[in-house]
Amino acid sequence: MKRDFLIVGLGNPGKAYEKTRHNFGFQAVEEIARQSALKLRKKFLINGRLAHGTIEDCSVYLFQPGTYMNRSGEAVARLMRRFGIKIEDLLVIVDDVAIPFGQIRLRSHSSSGGHNGLKSIEDNLKTNGYARLRIGVGDDYAGDLASYVLAPFTSDEQRLVPEILGRVAMIAKIWLTEGLTSAMNYANGKN
């Protein structure tokens, strides 16, 4: 039986959120799609943008939920049921304010850490037993957290974004071909 993988990037839909810190997950999935010559297309039945194809000889779905961050789990659970994706074949990519800008952490079976997107996925899947790749956006904010994560990157940060997204794409490929442990060793040791 063919094994399908699912890589989900979390963010908020709409032009207003495109280049914000909170959409780092969306940007990461777009970079993986670009590198793999896959096209994300809007799919109304699953409420999001989806691409399917082969990456490193693996059958992979790339997905951006069409829901807002705090309801991401609904679309992810629906997609997993529809295509029979197993929990161990799910990788979720998100932003994280608890990690310095540009650093990356890959974990499995860990808490949501207060991230509403991860909390929604855990609530809908009834488990935290999936891989989550967190991209640091830093905590250099004074005041409202929502305003910080929904703001665009600074010009200094924006210059570093392509390199960070390249590393994320490499980690995703290692996860696909060598498994979670190898990907964790690479991701968590290359910061």
- Judge whether 125 and 87 are in contact, CB under 8 Å: yes
Rg (CA), the chain: 15
Q: Which residues are catalytic?
A: 22
CA distances from 93 to 50, 75, 81, 131, 156 (A): 15, 15, 20, 9, 22
Q: List helix spans (H) across the chain.
A: 24-35, 72-83, 116-125, 145-149, 155-178, 180-189
